[in-house]
Amino acid sequence: MLAPIWSDAPKGFVPGSAVDREVTVGEEERSFRLYVPSEWSRPAPALFVFHGEGGTPDTIQNYAKLDPLAEDRGFVVIYPKGEGRNWNYDPGAPIVRSRGLASFSSRNGLNPDMDRRFDDVAMVRTIVEKLAAEGLIDASRVFATGISSGAMFCHRLAADASDVVAGVAPVSGAMTDVVANRFDPPQPVSLMAIIGEDDPLMPVQGGPIAGLLPQDRGRVAPADETIAAYLEANGISGEPCVERLPDRPEDDGTTTRVYAYPPGENGALVEIYRIEGAGHNWPGKPSNYHVEMVGKTSQDFDGSEAVMSFFERCPPKPGVPYGPELGGQ
């Protein structure tokens, strides 16, 4: 897509294109890819997209294909790079830094140079502060999605950065039991979760993460307990409206039900997509691995479209400075 000849975008940003940038977090240089919609004209809502274990900003950008949807809706999209191609989704879980396919065949999944924890929550805070101070994003409308370990990290952001994120949409990624045991965000965080009922890597009833793989990655809480935690945190007590989506195509072996709860405190939303027969995938996209390893991919709906539609409807965080007011530019 060609960028416009003129633009009101802050200096250094080219609407209609993606650029790679760096930010200093403590003593670390962290990198991220940034997509700015071509018709940017004012501080825009921001969407963080976190790749899964072994992924990169490039792989999740090409896989989820969120840029065209963000273009239509005026969102800025941020693709951070996880150190060691993974995220610190649980400060109590073992450190697993991806070594590509070696992660699937060896108990030694660690890169010696990466055998330490990185403060990924601080990275998100720093990126938001920087981009808001530069006038690019609206700090009251910051959202996060991701797949697998990137989705698990979204749950940690909801727990530890509820003052930053207005909503999260984890795809095929559960909340760890450690985060669940202390989940009490001081501010409401809207939730949209896409859950494959037959996910072999994130057991819906709780248990070891990717138990079929050699390394210990910690454990996840049951999905029902995670949903209940968000409902309580957001002050939601009503029953959900349940919709069964049409099967498209009819022979893909999955059935999707959407549970939409009444709005909670400050209008916080909770919507859950539970997919019978689906595994560890992003709905509407091709599977990254053999179905025997990760399960079936539902084609009942486009997960990316559902994520963007949800965030469009999410309320902003009340009392959060707008755009450059955050940094006093």
Determine, yes or no, domain membership for 236.
Answer: yes
Structure-token pair, residue 307: 């994520």
Cα separation, 32 vs 55, whole angstroms: 13
Predicted confidence (pLDDT) per residue in 32-51, tens digit:
999 999 989 889 999 999 99
271: left (phi > 0), else alpha (psi -120 to 50), else beta?
A: beta
Residues of the chain above pLDDT 90, percent: 71
The residue range of the domain holding 40 is 17-326
Cα separation, 304 vs 315, whole angstroms: 19
Segments in the chain below pLDDT 50: 1-6, 100-111, 327-329
Determine, yes or no, domain membership for 3.
Answer: no
Structure-token pair, residue 161: 């950065």
Report the domain count for the chain.
Answer: 1
Interacting residues of 192 by C-beta distance below 8 A, sequence separation 6+ = 167, 168, 169, 269, 270, 271, 272, 273, 306, 307, 310, 311
> Residue 46: its pLDDT value, please?
98
Determine, yes or no, domain membership for 145.
Answer: yes
> Residue 14: its pLDDT value, please?
79
Determine, yes or no, domain membership for 11.
Answer: no
> Residue 97: its pLDDT value, please?
65
Determine, yes or no, domain membership for 253.
Answer: yes
Determine, yes or no, domain membership for 5.
Answer: no
HSE (CB half, 13 Å, CA atoms) of 26?
Answer: 9
Determine, yes or no, domain membership for 211.
Answer: yes
The whole-model pTM stands at 0.91
Residue 273 is part of a domain; what is its CATH number? 3.40.50.1820
Cβ-based neighbour number of residue 279 at 10 Å: 24
Q: What are the backbone angles phi and psi of residue 18, rounded to the nearest 5°?
A: -115, 135
Determine, yes or no, domain membership for 215.
Answer: yes
